[in-house]
Amino acid sequence: MNDYENELNKRTAKWMGLLILSALLFLTILMLITSGCVSGAKNGYSSIMATPPPAPTPEPTGEPEPIEIPVVTVTGDPETYMLRTNGFHMREWHQWFRNNVQGINGQGTKDLRTLVTVYSYKFMDSYHWWSVSWARKFVVKPDDSRDQFLFAFVNMYSDDVFADDVRQYGMDCTHFTAQIDERLYFADQFEYPERRITEFDNLYTYDHVETPGPYGYQIVQEKGSGIISAQSKEWLMGGRSNAWDGYCQYQIPRQDKYGNPVNASNVKIVGNFANLGGVAWWKLE
């Protein structure tokens, strides 16, 4: 190796050393700069994400006193309510009067005065009827075991003292319904109205003359044969002795919608007499 090559190698090594030294110096300065930024960023992040100081816990209060929710009740006088809604007590008469009406007997215009009342009632889980052919009793129960029977005893007559014998068409059990809460229950149809209910053997009609039968029917026993039949009435003739008297039969639940027993305290008998006498109701008591 000649002197020229030695000199070239020295210069190359010198420049390589300077270059390495410059690189090391640059890296040192860069690390110093970036370490400050990172520290600042770390400090900023820490200040943002730091857990806030806990809020002071409020002092515990005492147990709140229970508040009783008032129950809305009718505060009005019951008698005033009955007068306002055309309600009646047992054995009180609802009546209507119309002058110059045409009777079905076609004898010109006459005055009409009609009176009607519900005079008794009876709740029963079942009842018995007497069979003449079998000479024994048979029991009858409601169609649904959750129901019970209600018998309402009705008397209606046309007054021929202060009015005339107009002979208006009669109003059978379809004009009377039993009301529980807001629901109406219609009377059962009498499949065999001639049957005698033995539980009523010791009861009497309103005039206290005979045992009540189904309302709107007349029980007749033929002479000689002794056959008992029920004849449906058509019109209401004048006079108390011609009154329609008897029972209407209903199947009603044993409990109302609130679970209370259904009895005289929450049942009404509603009569709908259309354009003649309007609507009236009787309180069972």
Q: What tens digit of pLDDT does each residue of 160-192 get?
A: 888 888 888 899 999 999 999 889 999 999 999
DSSP string, 55-93: PPPPPPPPPPPPPPPPPP---S-HHHHHHHTTEE-TTPP
Q: Which helix (H) or strand (E) holds 27?
A: helix 3-49
Instruction: Report the pLDDT value the prediction gives residue 111, as an integer from 0 to 100.
Output: 86
Instruction: Report the pLDDT value the prediction gives residue 250, as an integer from 0 to 100.
Output: 98
Residues near 233 by beta carbon (within 8 Å), at least 6 away in sequence: 170, 172, 216, 217, 218, 244
Q: What tens digit of pLDDT does each residue of 13-57 get?
A: 666 767 676 766 666 666 655 554 444 444 443 444 444 444 443
Question: String of b and e for 225-242 (b: at least 16 CB within 10 Å)?
Answer: eeeeebeebeebbbeeee
Query: In the structure, what pLDDT confidence band is assigned to residue 105 with cuts at 50, 70 and 90?
Result: low
Q: What tens digit of pLDDT does each residue of 142-163 get?
A: 999 999 999 999 999 999 888 8
